[in-house]
Amino acid sequence: MISRPKLNQGITWLIVFIMFGVLCRFGLWLRISYAPWLTVTGDGVGYEQIARNLLEGYGFSMEAAPPYLPDMIRTPGYPLFIAAIYWLFGYRPEMVTLAQNLLSLGLLLIGYLLAKRLFGPKAAMFAAALMALDVGGIILANVTFTETLFIMLFVSATYCLFRSFDSPRGIDWMAGAGLLLGLATLVRPASLYLLIVLLPLIWWMMRYSWREKGIRTIIFGAVFLLMLAPWSYRNFRVFGSPNITLAVQSITLNIHASYIRAGLNHTTLAEEEPRIPEQVRQELGGRTVSALEMDELIRAKAVAEIMQHPGEYVLLYLKSIGLTLLLPNTNFLANALGILNQPTGIIADMRTRSLTENIQVLLEFSAHYLAGSPDQALFFITTVIEVLVTFVTHGLAVVGTVIGLRSERRAYIVLLLVIIAYFFIITGPIGTGRYRLPAMPYLMMLAGYGLEQLQTWLQMRRRQKLQPDYSYPQ
C-alpha cells in the first residue's frame, strides 16, 4: 500500500517527466517544421502519395502519374490518416507529425493506465516516465511513418483486452480490443498473425465457464476479422486474392535472400536486392504475367536460395534481433534534419559487416555528414539519450520479468512477453531500431515493475541496517 504523501510525490515526478516529454516532442517538431518535406522520407513517400491520390480522385494508388494503377502492397489505415489531415489542413506534412506527437502523448496515458492495472500505480509511474523519455518514439512521431498511430492503437487494444478479463462488461471490452487490433492491423499488417497466438492465451487467462470463455474469445476474433473484411474484399475484387497486403511476403523474403548473398559476397543490400527479380524476368523471356504470379515466382526463388544457406540465415536472424534490440533511431532524425538527403546503407548493411568495418563506416559518417552540421550536437545528444534509455529499459525489464514470473502476476507477464517476442520474431533479418518500437511500451511496463521491486528491496535492506542489534555476546 502506497501512502498518500508518497503517491502525491510520485504523481509530481510523473508530471515532471511528462512535461519534459512534451517539451522534447514539440521542441523537435518546431525544429523540423521549418522544412516539413524532409519528414516525408522512406516508406512515408509512398503513404503520402496514396493520400494525395485519394484526395484528388485517383484512387488507392502509389503512382505519381497516370494510369494510377491500384496499389497492392500498402494497407489503407495510414494513408487514410494522412488524407484526413490533408483534407482538414491542406498538403502540410507538419500537421501530420503534429497529430502524431499528440498521439504519442496520448500513448503515455494509455500506457500508464495499462501498467497501473497490471502492476500498480508506482510501477505505472516509472513506466510512463520511461515512455516520456523514449527518444525513438519521439523521432518516429516526427516523420511520416506508421509507428506512432500503430502503437497507439495496439496498446489501446491491449488495454481493452486486459479490462475484459475482470470487468462485468467484459464482452464490450473484448469487442473493443478486436476492433482496435483490426484498425492497428490496417495501419501496419505486422500484427496480422498475432491473433493466432493470442486466442489460446486469452482462453487460458480468463477465469470463467467454458461457455463464457468461448463467447468472449469468438467475439474478439470475429470483430477483428470483420474490421479486415472490407479491405480483404477489395483485394479479392481487384487482384484476385483476399490477403490484406499483397507482395509484401515476396519483397521481404527477397531482402532476406539478398542479405545472405551480401554477406557471402561481401557486397551491399542495394547491390544484391535487384538480382532475384531480374533473374525471374530473364526466365520469363518476355512473357507477361500478373502481379500476383510475379510475386509468387520471386517468393519461390527467394525461399529456395534461403534453404541453400540455413546456417547463414539463422546467424543473420540472430544478428538482426540484436540490432533491433540495441540500435538507436537517430538515422531518421538525420533525414528529418537534412543531415542526410539520400540513403547511405549504413544501417541496412550493418548485419553483413564485421564490427571493425561497422566502426569504420560510422566514423566516416561522422566525419563526412555530421562535421560542420548545425544540428551535430542535437544528433549526438539524442543518440546518447536513446541508447541510455534503451539499455536501462532492457536491464530493468529483465528484473521485472524474473520477479513477475515468480509472483501472482505470472499470467500478465507471460502475455506481455508473448507480445514482445512476437514483434522481434516477425521482424526477422530486416530488423533495426525502428522495429523495436512496438515492443517498447511493454518492455517499459516490465521495466517500471522491475524498478519498483528493486526500490522496495533497497528500502528493506536500508531498514534492516538501521534496526538496532539487541543481541548480546555470549
The predicted model gives 384-403 an average pLDDT of 96
What pLDDT shows up at residue 377? Answer: 85
What pLDDT shows up at residue 185? Answer: 97
Please give the single-letter amino acid code of residue 108: L
What pLDDT shows up at residue 35? Answer: 81
**Residue 1 confidence (pLDDT) above 70:** no
Domain-located, residue 311: no
pLDDT tens digits, one per residue of 15-74: 777 788 888 899 999 988 888 888 898 889 999 999 999 999 999 999 999 999 999 889
Distances (CA, A) of 441 to 103, 107, 156, 217: 14, 9, 11, 25
Domain-located, residue 209: yes
What pLDDT shows up at residue 208? Answer: 79
Domain-located, residue 361: no
Domain-located, residue 298: no
> Residue 93: which of 28, 32, 184, 27 has the closest Cα?
32
DSSP state of 420: H
What pLDDT shows up at residue 351? Answer: 87
Angle, in degrees to the nearest 10, between helices 121-132 and 4-32: 20
* CA 214 – CA 231 distance, rounded (Å): 27
What pLDDT shows up at residue 463? Answer: 81
What pLDDT shows up at residue 6? Answer: 58
What pLDDT shows up at residue 4? Answer: 57
Written as nine digits, the cell of 394 is 532492457
* CA 417 – CA 243 distance, rounded (Å): 28
71: number of Cβ within 10 Å: 22
Tally the domains of the chain: 1
* CA 361 – CA 358 distance, rounded (Å): 5
Domain-located, residue 148: yes
Q: Which domain holds residue 20?
A: 4-247+372-462
Greatest Cα pair distance in the chain: 99
pLDDT band for position 234 (cuts 50, 70, 90): very high
What pLDDT shows up at residue 473? Answer: 54
**Residue 312 confidence (pLDDT) above 90:** yes
DSSP state of 125: H
Question: Of 216-225, 350-359, 360-369, 459-468, which has the strongest mean pLDDT?
Answer: 216-225
**Residue 2 confidence (pLDDT) above 80:** no
The predicted model gives 368-372 an average pLDDT of 77
Domain-located, residue 191: yes
**Residue 270 confidence (pLDDT) above 70:** yes
What pLDDT shows up at residue 12? Answer: 74
E-assigned strands of 69-158?
Answer: none
* CA 97 – CA 25 distance, rounded (Å): 10
Domain-located, residue 320: no
Contact between 188 and 140 (Cβ < 8 Å):
no
What pLDDT shows up at residue 96? Answer: 96
User: What is the distance between the terminal CA atoms of the chain, rounded to a whole angstrom?
Assistant: 40
**Residue 435 confidence (pLDDT) above 90:** yes
Domain-located, residue 114: yes
